[in-house]
Structure 1
Amino acid sequence: MESSKKMDPSGSLQTNPPLKLHPDRSAGASVFVPEQGGYKERFVKSVEDKYKCEKCRLVLCNPKQTECGHRFCDSCMAAVLSSTSPKCTACQESIIKDKVFKDNCCKREILALQIYCRNESRGCAEQLTLGHLLVHLKNDCQFEELPCVRADCKERVLRKDLRDHVDKACKYREATCSHCKSQVPMITLQKHEDTDCPCVVVSCPHQCRVQTLLRSELSAHLSECVNAPSTCSFKRYGCVFQGTNQQMKAHEASSAVQHVDLLKEWSSSLEKKVSLLQNESVEKNKSIQSLHNQICSFEIEIERQKEMLRNNESKILHLQVRGLGPRGGSSRTVPKGGPVSCQVPTLGRPGRRD
């Protein structure tokens, strides 16, 4: 169906919606497809109303045609059919899903319409068919924004500027250290020279007579530097002296008696601790022995109670057997110490013994 509505000029550049890549099998090429609704590209010529969606009023994307002859974008038709009673927004007739079909003829005509490049505002003056927009943006457009080829770089630049960016402006391009000649990212070059480069000339932080040396030699020098601060090797024993390596040597030579006295004090303190621990150990051993004696006493008492229980059980069984004697016609052997397994009948009061 072709509407006889008036034609709208497309003079101003519109904001384009997010797009996704969709294979257009009928046209044999790949085209951009808006996530929702129709195309918002700027067309070179005014677009006829017959190429516009009856719902979103944009240029049709993957057009579908209803039984009543009106056209909708694929996504717009899906939205209409999702209602309980779908109706055509143009004529209000009911829409039967099985009667809706793809309008491939209309689609080919739309993809053949001339548009301005999406990057017109950035300087691209290219005019091309809508169906070739994707190929143009992916391969040719010099004003398309592309990510830097280096994974750490998050900048996006125009295709025409990408080579200069990679070679001259990228913060992560390789740079050569002027001292060690190693390759480091430009963004870390200053830090490398200030703190890491082993070939940078540095001075001793303790201002000793060695004025300059390589950073790679600094660690070994600090262990020998006469001005390096140090603590006395007898610190753990109580010596609080601190000074340079040179002062430390003089201190160790002149403080031998003091260090011996510190060792004596430390040894005496250690002996007191040992004695205290020994006394505690003796007391604990006494407590353990007392507990052991109590356990032995309890075990003896338990065995005595068990023996008394066995004797009482034997007496009870003996009395029960005697009670069965006059009334029962036969005698029955009862195991000593074990439970009576037979049913004991109700007994009368036994006669008194003379």
Structure 2
Amino acid sequence: MAAGGLDARFVDRLSERHTCPVCLVALREPMMTKCGHLICNDCVRPLARRGRVVCPLCREEQNESEIYPNNYDKREIMSLKIYCDQQEKGCGWKGELRERETHNETCGYVDVLCKHECGEMVKKKDMESHMKKTCMNRKVECSCV
């Protein structure tokens, strides 16, 4: 993820309006400046000097108190369609940005540490097979009786 914004693979091209001019990815917690421009909440803070902010787009100086959350654009951004972060590993999920965390919790293509603590990272969907067949810490029946 980018420092301030939301780094994701969008199904459709991200509009310029929904791209932060500071971190150059989708706006996270968009803030509206007095001059009408949008900036990520986290990206506004470094621009502030003694209670004043200079807009990175039009260079208009304004008070920090004149910059406020923009929930309309936040809702729009969170409803944009994205691909799974694990798409290159084979996941075919597409959904709204707001569903990303929920999907990542259940995505079978996310790498997780082996439950038997063998030290291997395994895709969630392959964990059961790994623990039964290839994990060096798996339980095996001894045939030496």
Q: Same fold (TM over 0.5)?
A: yes
- Mapped to 2, the partners of 1:37 and 1:54 lie a distance apart of 11
Post-superposition shift, 1:80?
Answer: 1.0
Larger Rg: 1
1:139-178 paired onto structure 2 within 5 Å? 139=106, 141-150=107-116, 152-178=117-143
Kindly provide the CA deviation profile for residues 262-320 of structure 1, in whole angstroms up to 9, marking residues without a partner as x: xxxxxxxxxxxxxxxxxxxxxxxxxxxxxxxxxxxxxxxxxxxxxxxxxxxxxxxxxxx
2:28 match: secondary structure: coil
Post-superposition shift, 1:129?
Answer: 0.6
Unpaired stretches in structure 1, ≥5 consecutive residues = 1-16, 18-33, 181-354
Kindly provide the CA deviation profile for residues 181-239 of structure 1, in whole angstroms up to 9, marking residues without a partner as x: xxxxxxxxxxxxxxxxxxxxxxxxxxxxxxxxxxxxxxxxxxxxxxxxxxxxxxxxxxx
1:175 match: secondary structure: coil
- Mapped to 1, the partners of 2:29 and 2:41 lie a distance apart of 5
- Mapped to 2, the partners of 1:171 and 1:55 lie a distance apart of 47
| Contact preservation (8 Å) 1:119, 1:143 | yes
2:136 match: secondary structure: coil
**Other-structure match for 2:31:** 64
**Other-structure match for 1:49:** 16
1:95 match: secondary structure: strand
Unpaired stretches in structure 2, ≥5 consecutive residues = none
**Other-structure match for 1:109:** 76
Post-superposition shift, 1:121?
Answer: 0.4
Residues 1:135 and 2:102 aligned together? yes
2:54 match: secondary structure: coil
| Contact preservation (8 Å) 1:54, 1:70 | no
Identity %: 31
- Mapped to 1, the partners of 2:84 and 2:143 lie a distance apart of 46
Post-superposition shift, 1:119?
Answer: 0.5
2:53 match: secondary structure: coil
Kindly provide the CA deviation profile for residues 73-96 of structure 1, in whole angstroms up to 9, marking residues without a partner as x: 111111111x35531111111131
**Other-structure match for 2:61:** 94
- Mapped to 2, the partners of 1:95 and 1:163 lie a distance apart of 57
- Mapped to 2, the partners of 1:175 and 1:48 lie a distance apart of 55
- Mapped to 2, the partners of 1:42 and 1:93 lie a distance apart of 32
- Mapped to 2, the partners of 1:45 and 1:57 lie a distance apart of 16
Matched pairs, number: 144
- TM-score where L is the length of structure 2: 0.91
Match for 1:55: what amino acid?
A: V
Which gives a bigger RCO, structure 1 or 2 (Cα 8 Å, sep 6+)? 2
**Other-structure match for 1:248:** none
- Mapped to 2, the partners of 1:77 and 1:166 lie a distance apart of 47
Post-superposition shift, 1:37?
Answer: 2.3
- Mapped to 2, the partners of 1:171 and 1:116 lie a distance apart of 34
- Cα RMSD for the two superposed structures: 1.5
The structure carrying a bigger helix percent of its residues is: 1
Kindly provide the CA deviation profile for residues 89-148 of structure 1, in whole angstroms up to 9, marking residues without a partner as x: 111111311111111111111000001111110011111111101100102x22111221
Post-superposition shift, 1:57?
Answer: 2.2
Match for 2:123: what amino acid?
A: L
- Mapped to 1, the partners of 2:37 and 2:73 lie a distance apart of 12
- Mapped to 2, the partners of 1:95 and 1:154 lie a distance apart of 52
